[in-house]
Amino acid sequence: MFRLDGRIALVTGAGSGIGASIAETFAAAGAVVWVTDRDAARAEAEAERLRSANGGDCALALALDVADDSACQRAAQEVLSRHGRLDLLVNNAGVGHVGRLPDTTPADLQRLWSVNVLGVFQVTRAFLPSMLAQRRGNIINIASIGGIVAVRDRLAYTTTKFAVVGFTKAVALDHARDGIRCNCICPGRVETPFVSAMIAQYPDPAKARAEMESTQAIGRMARPDEIAAAALYLASDAADSVTGSAHIIDGGWTAGK
């Protein structure tokens, strides 16, 4: 079991799904976790759940819209004023869009870009100076298999996730000698509330689910805790020499590509 005792962590989009599972895993491993979400009530509910499970000091809630640069700066000020540092940053918040180029408007792309790319940039930029000052920091970005290979009918999403992978590698290269590690995780299909809601919108949800599951060689979607396990490894001292990497967890989706 990898331990994070005494580490201060912040996870964006942690009110549900992958983000909530990462926050839960980090808290169980001994970290103090800031649970952030655009929905303040959802962030507080998740933080309370973690406090009930792991002890009263393990989680704090913070409303955060990563697309708002001023909000990102205020979040950094609040965390740093309380703890003096941030050890682990997980940029998980993200949104999706179904569509090819003719089905994607500039507004659609801008919406995804503002969260999936600009959000990662802004949150990282807000916390990086403190990490540089302490000469230690660990950044984990949740990208996607759509940042490694193109995904059919996901033009805007694929575009933004390729950018996240590139951002990850650039930060890792620029700051490797500063004690900063930066990696990303590239999941395939994951059984989250977001994905379930998207499937429910299809004319034939059962057919849509079967098709999504069939893209992965193992014949099922991943669980959020499987993604969280990879994040825990990257967050731990066991991965001290790992930086600039994109960790694929896709159930064999890209094995034959």
pLDDT tens by residue, 118-132 = 999 999 999 999 999
Strands in 246-249's sheet, in edge-to-edge order, are 59-63, 32-37, 8-11, 88-91, 137-142, 180-187, 246-249
* Residues of the chain above pLDDT 90, percent: 89
Mean pLDDT of the chain: 96
Euclidean distance between CA atoms 96 and 195, whole angstroms: 10
pLDDT of residue 193: 83
User: Which three-class secondary structure state does DSSP give residue 55?
Assistant: coil
Q: Catalytic residue, from 34, 113, 127, 157: name it.
A: 157
Whether the per-residue pLDDT at 171 is higher than 90: the answer is yes
What's the alpha-carbon Rg for the chain, to the nearest Å?
17
Residue 233 designated active-site:
no
Whether the per-residue pLDDT at 215 is higher than 90: the answer is no
Euclidean distance between CA atoms 214 and 164, whole angstroms: 26
What are the tens digits of pLDDT across the range 45-68? 999 999 999 988 899 999 999 999
Give the pTM: 0.96
Task: Catalogue all structural domains in the chain, each as residue range(s) with its CATH number.
Answer: 8-187+223-245 (3.40.50.720), 191-221 (no CATH)
Whether the per-residue pLDDT at 257 is higher than 80: the answer is no
Euclidean distance between CA atoms 31 and 116, whole angstroms: 25
Tokens 């995780």 -> residue: 185
Nearest to 244 by CA among 182, 186, 199: 182
